[in-house]
Amino acid sequence: MDAVTPPGAGHEAAFRAPIAHIRDYEPGADAEQVAAATGIPFEDVVKLASNENPYPVSPSVLRAIERQFDFLHSYPWEDFGRLKAAVAAANGVPDANVVLSAGSAQLVLNLPLLYVDPGDEVVLAPQSYALYEAASQVMGATLRRVPLKDYRFDIPAIVAACGPRTRIVWLCSPNNPTGAVVTADELERLVTQVPETTAIVVDQAYREFVDEDDYGDPLALLAAGHRNVISLCSFSKAYALAGLRLGYAIADPAVCVMLDRISEPFLLSRPACAAGLAALDDDEWLAASTRTVLEGRALLTRELTALGWDVVPSQGNFVLADTHGDGRALFRRLLDEGVIVRPADGWGYPTHIRVSVGLPEQNERFLAALRRCL
């Protein structure tokens, strides 16, 4: 008997059809596997593939986590409230506008539970964070895919794609993988042209790295009374806490009540709550880390452009570059050098690679390996 039963037969027949058809998430290559395959020591492998921030975590955050070791037997209820208040204060909104989550990705998964019935529509770009598509498909959404134009969300085409059954428009600003933002004008145009029954989700996981004046701020639109605007934020990128899983949404209080209703009540661990509180209290660390990322972004942009590549101007902690060659082949050659980047063919960019900004020495090691590969 086969170990694996084909779909549609045996126990697999019980799986809901929309889920059976979802593409599996392809994470960045694993540094331990690359070390084992190449013989390069693990500590010398440079991973610039998952838009992580390798800047050393704030010492005050580490101390806050350590203080929680004595309390691991108890649920983190009161810490949850304290973190919610701190997040609200940091964003200039009342506590009722905040939903905490174990990473913003969990909110991406929960939003379709709130909005989408089978056959409802969502509008998204195929060249964006892949989880929007999978999360929507879980609920049986019909996907309206609006391709990016010149690496940017095509707002007029998105407005045109919205219909009476559109429940969510997924935006990502800065967009992963292109690094482009939705401008203030564009966001306002979109929000004023779609019905109030369409949620406009703006994933701002990379917002702390934005230095463009024209950045569209969903919180301003929310404050102006657009109750369908939802911002998703993360501690994984600017705060370098991807391993702790900490994120949040800023939304209308009615949306927050609903999102909390479908969330596990003790979703965040005590160490994560404590880390979030300490991280929000360490502005100096955030400024230093962000400065390092922006310097690295400028360096990578400059050096890759000097190779004759087309580098998409990025507002994130990563750059997408058109190598004018086979991006996946270059990704493989770099793996042999112990450097992990992201091939971009999955987003429909077969000649591009996406490189996360690392520490200065990691950026230099990537550039040196790249020169050897070319």
Contact set with ligand PLP (CB under 6 A): 51, 103-105, 129, 172, 176, 203, 205, 234, 236, 242, 247
CB of 65 vs ligand PLP, minimal distance in Å = 17
Question: What are the angstrom distances between the C-alpha of 11 and each of 16, 20, 178?
Answer: 11, 12, 40
Task: Round the CA-based radius of gyration of the chain to a whole number and report it.
Answer: 21
Residue 181 corresponds to which amino acid?
V
Residue 114 or 242: the one with the smaller Cβ distance to ligand PLP is 242
According to DSSP, the residues that pair with 232 across neighbouring strands are 203, 249
User: What is the number of other CB atoms lying within 10 angstroms of the CB of residue 262?
Assistant: 10
According to DSSP, the residues that pair with 201 across neighbouring strands are 170, 230
The three-class DSSP label of residue 213 is: coil
Q: What is the DSSP letter of 16?
A: -
Residue 27 or 308: the one with the smaller Cβ distance to ligand PLP is 27
Residue 68 or 236: the one with the smaller Cβ distance to ligand PLP is 236
Residue 58 or 236: the one with the smaller Cβ distance to ligand PLP is 236
Residue 40 or 232: the one with the smaller Cβ distance to ligand PLP is 232
CB of 139 vs ligand PLP, minimal distance in Å = 18
Residue 272 or 339: the one with the smaller Cβ distance to ligand PLP is 272
CB of 353 vs ligand PLP, minimal distance in Å = 16
Long-range interactions of 62-68: CB distance < 8 A, separation 24+: 63/278, 64/274, 64/275, 64/277, 64/278, 65/271, 65/274, 65/275, 67/274, 68/270, 68/271, 68/274
By beta-carbon distance, which residue lies closest to ligand PLP?
Answer: 103
CB of 36 vs ligand PLP, minimal distance in Å = 25
Phi-psi region of 152 (alpha: psi -120 to 50; beta: other; left: phi over 0): beta
- The residue with tokens 């391709």 is 147
Question: What are the angstrom distances between the C-alpha of 299 and each of 51, 61, 76, 184, 295?
Answer: 16, 29, 42, 27, 6
Pairwise CA distance, residues 294 & 316, whole Å? 9
CB of 253 vs ligand PLP, minimal distance in Å = 22
Residue 109 or 307: the one with the smaller Cβ distance to ligand PLP is 109
CB of 369 vs ligand PLP, minimal distance in Å = 23
CB of 8 vs ligand PLP, minimal distance in Å = 32
